[in-house]
Amino acid sequence: MKIKDNFWLGLLIGAASFGLFFLLFSLIPWESLGRFSVRAPYLLAFIPGVVLFRMMLVKWDLEKMGKGVLVVTVVGMLLVFFLV
């Protein structure tokens, strides 16, 4: 089945992957990291977005969806660095 290349679907996939992995990483006790313990689950949850971005652009030839995932990843990282 061919997936339609859609920017909005890429945004949704990027947000869903971040949410899922953030929930998984928030279950780990991060107190031993000291001051980095606040940002650790957020930043690690963005790694699947980068992997999805690469897979969509290089392997699956879904340019618009890849751009949507990239937008969610970059904007989310900026929000974490400036707000958390």
What is the value of pTM for the model shown?
0.84
Q: What is the pLDDT along the chain (84 residues), one digit of tens a residue?
A: 677 889 999 999 999 999 999 999 888 887 877 777 778 888 889 999 999 999 999 998 899 999 999 999 999 999 988 987
pLDDT at site 1? 63
Q: How many CA atoms lie within 13 A of 25 on its CB side?
A: 19
CA–CA separation, 51 and 14 (whole Å): 10
DSSP track, 22-60: HHHHTTS--GGGGGGGTTHHHHHHTHHHHHHHHIIIIIS
pLDDT at site 66? 93
